[in-house]
Structure 1
């Protein structure tokens, strides 16, 4: 064998080429640290507080398929949020029917009979018979933007019927208008576009028959063309971008209690949420409203891919919520289990999910993903089974069956178990017992608790056995959206980073809450149709997400350990070589911290400092969303320096390698 030794000049040139082409992507990692999870912080999404329909899902028509029901909210019916119209002395009638729907999964539709149309020239404004949709607290439109309208129609009279499709202000001003003509005797989808001449915060959609006739109508939809990434059936652009800018490592979906549902009939079944929207199964939301499933599994996975986050779907463990039936009390007896003779079919449903996400386009379920526009696999790595479940014998039996089936068929998938809704107690202990028995790779812990607990329990994960399951802290918050709550959570996050070798992932919850429609008081982002209001809690999460690392170092930042109002963590991102210091002061006065960067070569000089601070009682509101925001500036550091942490603050110092 002839071995050619490169001369120095050749070696330098080769090294330069490799570096410039990205072949060398990791910086030298100093000794003395420990590897931690590189996917530590992400997002938890649940359709609570109108987070999906009327929220991040960009559909503007409420009750678009006439499926609202009084069992969801008192007074609701299939015609809720619609108004019947007979302008210009026209008259007719309208009814909700079920005899011949667009699809069996979408049983209700409206029949409009335009019996007489007034003379347009004799009356001010439009003449016709039709309906108006009020949207979710109205519809926001922008001048010059395009809005895509679609509807399924079926002609029930002999002659074609002309329909005026328009956007109308609350004062009656016509902002945009176009025409379609119903001609098909069977259900057919019709589309048009609307471009408003003015911007309005409260607009309604009007569908008006201007010629006599009878027709059936269903799945009435209006989407802004400018959705996030311009996806059809997509997401509200500003809200999705706000989340994307956080740079989360993963997104857990479709929720918590939403998953196992209010009774077996209400469990979230992923297959009901894919395919054409007219074929998806709508149902009552466990939080007391309606979910169209327009934001379904394909859209969740697509969003994860669009923002570079790993998908973490959670499926029921074959049981419903223990608080089913509206009991909502600790130890409620509402948990119901799927009959054992249905478990084989349900296990296959979970296995089919993995094939749908990862299988080739030629497989049965992979082909359905490909038909939706994504022939490549989604590269699913995690599946959660169960959510905050009561550890009954029925749960344990069904969870074990599901876990063993996934483990056997898909050993490449990490299954995440559950250990109940609290940080301790009977379900927590029994959940960990089951985890240890099955040797689960990961379990999902949840806790909502007062902020002082986070200050006094910074060592929670220090003593966790590293030989047992890793932890996904799937839901946590400190019962409030004031700055003090956020700073207490920042203290906890420094401990999470310190224990990033056993805590694999963590996500604050809930994520989104619409003004006037909240079922949960503590949330990360409040919003209405025009404004996003990130809370101080949001900014803490974002600062930790955007300044994460994969190696943790002790004793870089020193302070009195007896002072529970102080906390700090030091991580290094091996991809960039940056060293990141996070220092938290939950006290009422500034306090000094001593920083020693001697572990890290070529560090010092220019850095970037971001500080979130203010009155501990301060919070952001829809009216003043910028009351508490982080401030970033250039900052100079030495090998050794003293940092004065402001009262009630999170400070992040990002230090790059000297050049």
Structure 2
């Protein structure tokens, strides 16, 4: 009897809890005014591609360039395994160096340096360093800060009988020793050695010097120098200031590792995710399609980890079994064009894509989940999206291979949303054929791309208004307006208001490209320019950040009113149901201030105190390395009434964020 009473009491508690949860959910829904429509809550994110030295020498914090002696003349004219290294024999020492491949650390990393220190001069006699070794110039030098810790590592193999003592130092261009430590080779087999360097001075241009200070012969490979202060202090991590800049945007997702980089410059150059995981000495380095070297140090594990660290969903993109249609440089005579994997290799490649999903989401006990766990992440990454293909030429070979991949993923992993592709342009033959394939296969989402002049964005605000909501959703994976002036950014802001209005059919959108290093750009329009010391966000960046940080999940029409005939004006109104905030975005791409009427009547619980953020200035204004803050948004307190008139400044994006009572 007591047991029955006990069960009844527990049942009563569960029922009451269930009722309270239902009432709480109903109350939350009641806070969202009627008359709006649900839109994507992951609308705006980032697209990362290793273009413009965005990875090595950029976001990836490795300071040593050509750390594994794998640079090759096929990548750039004049490059070789010695590139960005200089031979040194100070103090009247002498010896020799060479690159060999007979017994590497790992078969995926075949080249290594051999140093033979035949004679070491007297340090005291020559009032400076004595030894035989090499100096690395870094990526346009190395920036160090006084008192910070820099983690050095190298693989060594002893080739002479006696151990060799190595002096590891950071030196200024004038030869000043800023930090110094010693290691000694002790093994006839490859062994990893580590030490720390703490500079006594800050310098913008520093070199890493490795000198044998005793006689002997040894091999070295995978020479690495990392600041200890990486993003989230992760080993093999990301440049702190740059990663934090991206994290502060609050993107909902990150697409990686690229666009054209993915399907590659020929089949041999396709980006294969398995080559980018595991210890860095086992990863496969290669030339990328943009004509320089990628170490794969920033690989799939690091991409997924960064997404998790900043709360963004990972959106990996894999090749669709074909290479880029521009392979071999088809814009030049003699280019090979799109190449397709032989059909007898497709089953193996399909399994490679399925293995990616298991690596990301499988338990630590599974074959590929165990590799993720071994890297330090036993929990799944909770992958939801996989892109297959990028801007591909819609050939029969592409369609056949894409179909095989899509059906295999759909059958094995119905929980994964596959994103297809509809070519590189906003219309045309590939676009039409891509949508035809999508409709035939009933794809859940397709990836549209377009780079176009800013005036197009002003005149085509209705692009997605008539898209069929019963067909695939759209991921606008790459877009920009060919320029980094304020006018370009404001034109893109106009487009983003239309994207929000159509957030029920446009699921995601990301500007491209993201990063570009000064002096190393292959693409003129980028979101953030940088060098080793300075980040230069563009006006385009600030538009993206304002939209990302002020996104919502419900859209409302006719809150902001103005003449629809004036294509220089645009606006959107969204509500974030998590916070209850109402966000108005008003864009004026004209040359004079213009009025917009605001009616907040449907938002009953609003408060009058709000914030106003405005990005405005001369339409020709840009941010430069000399003046990176030339165009930046300004935020102030602002009061709103149920109805009010807002005067939008010329060439501006205005964001008004309004709290509501809970």
What TM bracket, shorter-length normalisation?
Answer: over 0.9
Q: CA separation in 1, counterparts of 2:334 and 2:74?
A: 24
Give the superposed CA RMSD. 2.8
In the other structure, the counterpart of 2:628 is 625
Q: CA separation in 2, counterparts of 1:13 and 1:489?
A: 51
Q: CA separation in 2, counterparts of 1:402 and 1:219?
A: 36
1:327-350, Cα deviation, whole Å (9 max, x unpaired): 237997510000000000000000
In the other structure, the counterpart of 2:291 is 288
- Residues paired across the two proteins, number: 657
SS of equivalent residue, structure 2 residue 358: helix
Distance 1:416 1:531, change over 3 A: same
SS of equivalent residue, structure 2 residue 275: helix
Distance 1:579 1:193, change over 3 A: same
The one of 557, 573, 576 equivalent to 2:576 is: 573
Shift of 1:604: 3.9
Shift of 1:623: 1.3
Q: Is the 8 A contact 1:565 1:586 kept in 2?
A: yes
Q: CA separation in 2, counterparts of 1:330 and 1:425?
A: 24
Distance 1:27 1:207, change over 3 A: farther
Q: Which runs of 4+ in 1 moved over 6 A?
A: 1-19, 22-27, 329-332
Shift of 1:217: 0.3
5+ unaligned residues in a row in structure 2: which ranges? Answer: none
Q: CA separation in 2, counterparts of 1:293 and 1:140?
A: 22
Distance 1:385 1:545, change over 3 A: same
Query: What is the TM-score of this pair, normalised by structure 2?
Result: 0.96
SS of equivalent residue, structure 2 residue 360: helix
1:51-109, Cα deviation, whole Å (9 max, x unpaired): 00000000000000000000000000000000000000000000000000000000000
Q: CA separation in 2, counterparts of 1:161 and 1:639?
A: 79
Q: Is the 8 A contact 1:27 1:576 kept in 2?
A: no
Matched, 1:188 2:227: no
Shift of 1:539: 0.2
Q: CA separation in 2, counterparts of 1:69 and 1:561?
A: 57
Q: CA separation in 1, counterparts of 2:641 and 2:49?
A: 44
1:566-600, Cα deviation, whole Å (9 max, x unpaired): 00000000000000000000000000000000111
Q: Is the 8 A contact 2:329 2:336 kept in 1?
A: no
Q: Is the 8 A contact 1:45 1:251 kept in 2?
A: yes
Q: CA separation in 1, counterparts of 2:238 and 2:245?
A: 12
In the other structure, the counterpart of 2:451 is 448
In the other structure, the counterpart of 1:40 is 43
The one of 401, 404, 413 equivalent to 1:401 is: 404
Q: Is the 8 A contact 2:329 2:335 kept in 1?
A: no
Shift of 1:523: 0.1
1:5-52, Cα deviation, whole Å (9 max, x unpaired): 999999999999989xx9987771100000000000000000000000
Q: Is the 8 A contact 2:56 2:62 kept in 1?
A: yes
Q: Is the 8 A contact 1:360 1:376 kept in 2?
A: yes
SS of equivalent residue, structure 1 residue 46: coil
Distance 1:162 1:330, change over 3 A: closer
Matched, 1:88 2:107: no
Q: CA separation in 1, counterparts of 2:99 and 2:253?
A: 42
Q: CA separation in 2, counterparts of 1:658 and 1:363?
A: 48
SS of equivalent residue, structure 2 residue 6: coil
Distance 1:654 1:126, change over 3 A: same
Q: Is the 8 A contact 1:482 1:536 kept in 2?
A: yes
Q: CA separation in 1, counterparts of 2:344 and 2:19?
A: 62
Query: What is the TM-score of this pair, normalised by structure 1?
Result: 0.97
Distance 1:27 1:167, change over 3 A: farther
Q: CA separation in 2, counterparts of 1:644 and 1:582?
A: 13
Distance 1:600 1:202, change over 3 A: same
In the other structure, the counterpart of 2:69 is 66
Distance 1:569 1:286, change over 3 A: same
SS of equivalent residue, structure 1 residue 301: helix
Distance 1:197 1:153, change over 3 A: same
Q: Is the 8 A contact 1:168 1:175 kept in 2?
A: yes
In the other structure, the counterpart of 2:350 is 347
1:108-137, Cα deviation, whole Å (9 max, x unpaired): 000000000001110121000000000000
Shift of 1:285: 1.0
1:505-545, Cα deviation, whole Å (9 max, x unpaired): 00000000000000000000000000000000000000000
